[in-house]
């Protein structure tokens, strides 16, 4: 008896994934719940575990393939016959392709035949159906499975009804209405010289990286983005951290870093300048009386932004614990989609990579983002004297449509004041 390996539910608003890596080869023995394959979505990377113990048969979905929810990935056979389910897997693959109306010759022929039949019956005018139910159960079923709205399909049936053939043709080629939309221009790369082409390597972008690229470009295009800068003297924060880091770790089980201080400083500044914690929705501004702080974490596969929810209700220790948990999950590829949704403000720390200055891009639909940078000892003037101090540049990129310059500068100054005098964070001043 063979067991199917299928794509699990991927999460809210995620309908497809890319096969990242198979951990087993056909013929390898597998244990129940053992990771078999890695799936990459536009939001998170997840593993599919073996539904049963046995031997991995044929792999239906290869690395790099795009698959939908419930799609067949492979088969697990009981015992040692690893190749036994090959025929069945192929049959399942064919059935899946047919069910999705992928434009096979037989389906195209059926669509053409039914369309022709409708024309012969006397339909001289092609009309759209307003409801899936107007055209019978077959059309309704195809509409539910494919997501194609029958009202957007050219109808060839009697009284302007959509036939099964019309739906199959629309699923294969796309609705006629959609073809009228202007096509998005595609940048065509100029061919490389012959001597260089042989030394190039072309690798397909992961779903996550594609999504990051698209959203960053959308943020630049949609927002009136500006950036303001300031610097903070980290002397007092560093002294406080050095004084209490050992006892802090002993009591709370987590190291005392700088992010806890920055999150608390941001929360206090957001309370004073609520526009920074708001977002634009059409012609409305939504002011959020809660503080979900996104913390950008770099991984090998791209940037992820887990969210520390209700950061205003957490102590510095609580913030550090949450960030530590997210960091481990990010490295293990175990972050859940819901843990990266709903942020109201984002903190990005380019300083861990050595960045001295940057202009971070908004994490839409948020209206602002804080960029932290490298702590660098520099000569500064203090009380008329030149002293060497550990300084950090801070940058706030903001949407000028909702946040004016005064608010952005004041927000950044409040963060500076909280960090240079950490007692303000403890006393909530």
- Whether 416 and 230 have beta carbons less than 8 Å apart is answered as yes
Q: CB count, 10 Å around CB of 429?
A: 10
Q: CB count, 10 Å around CB of 280?
A: 16
Please compute, for residue 312, the number of CA atoms within 13 A of its CA located in the half-sphere on the CB side.
16
Query: Which residues are catalytic, by number?
Result: 400, 404
């Amino acid at each position: 008896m063979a067991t199917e390996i299928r794509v699990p539910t991927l999460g809210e608003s995620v309908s497809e994934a890319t096969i990242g890596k198979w951990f087993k080869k056909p013929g390898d023995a597998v244990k129940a719940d053992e990771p078999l394959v890695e799936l990459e979505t536009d939001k998170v990377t997840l593993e599919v575990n073996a539904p049963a113990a046995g031997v991995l048969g044929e792999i239906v979905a290869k690395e790099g393939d795009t698959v939908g929810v419930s799609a067949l990935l492979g088969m697990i056979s009981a015992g040692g016959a690893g190749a036994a389910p090959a025929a069945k897997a192929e049959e399942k693959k064919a059935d899946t392709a047919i069910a999705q109306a992928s434009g096979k010759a037989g389906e195209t022929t059926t669509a053409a035949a039914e369309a022709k039949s409708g024309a012969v019956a006397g339909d001289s005018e092609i009309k759209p159906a307003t409801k899936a139910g107007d055209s019978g159960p077959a059309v309704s079923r195809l509409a539910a499975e494919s997501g194609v709205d029958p009202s957007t399909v050219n109808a060839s049936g009697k009284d302007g009804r959509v036939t099964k053939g019309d739906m199959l043709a629309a699923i294969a080629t796309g609705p006629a209405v959609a073809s009228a939309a202007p096509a998005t221009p595609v940048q065509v790369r100029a061919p490389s010289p012959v001597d260089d082409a042989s030394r190039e390597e072309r690798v397909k972008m992961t779903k996550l990286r594609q999504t990051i690229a698209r959203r960053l470009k959308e943020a630049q295009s949609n927002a009136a983005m500006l950036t303001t800068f300031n610097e903070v003297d980290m002397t007092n924060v560093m002294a406080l951290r050095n004084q209490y880091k050992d006892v802090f770790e002993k009591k709370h089980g987590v190291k005392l870093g700088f992010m806890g201080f920055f999150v608390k400083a941001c929360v206090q500044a957001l309370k004073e300048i609520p526009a920074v914690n708001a977002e634009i929705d059409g012609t409305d501004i939504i002011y959020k009386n809660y503080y979900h702080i996104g913390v950008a974490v770099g991984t090998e596969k791209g940037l992820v932004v887990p969210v520390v929810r209700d950061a205003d209700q957490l102590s510095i220790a609580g913030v550090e614990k949450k960030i530590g948990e997210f960091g481990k999950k990010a490295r293990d590829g175990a972050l859940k989609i819901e843990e990266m949704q709903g942020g109201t403000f984002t903190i990005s720390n380019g300083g861990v990579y050595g960045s001295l200055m940057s202009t971070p891009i908004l994490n839409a639909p948020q209206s602002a983002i804080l960029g932290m940078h490298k702590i660098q000892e520099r000569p500064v003037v203090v009380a008329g004297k030149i002293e060497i101090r550990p300084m950090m540049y801070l940058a706030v990129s903001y949407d000028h449509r909702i946040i004016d310059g005064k608010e952005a500068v004041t927000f950044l100054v409040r963060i500076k004041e909280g960090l240079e005098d950490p007692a303000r964070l403890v006393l909530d001043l």
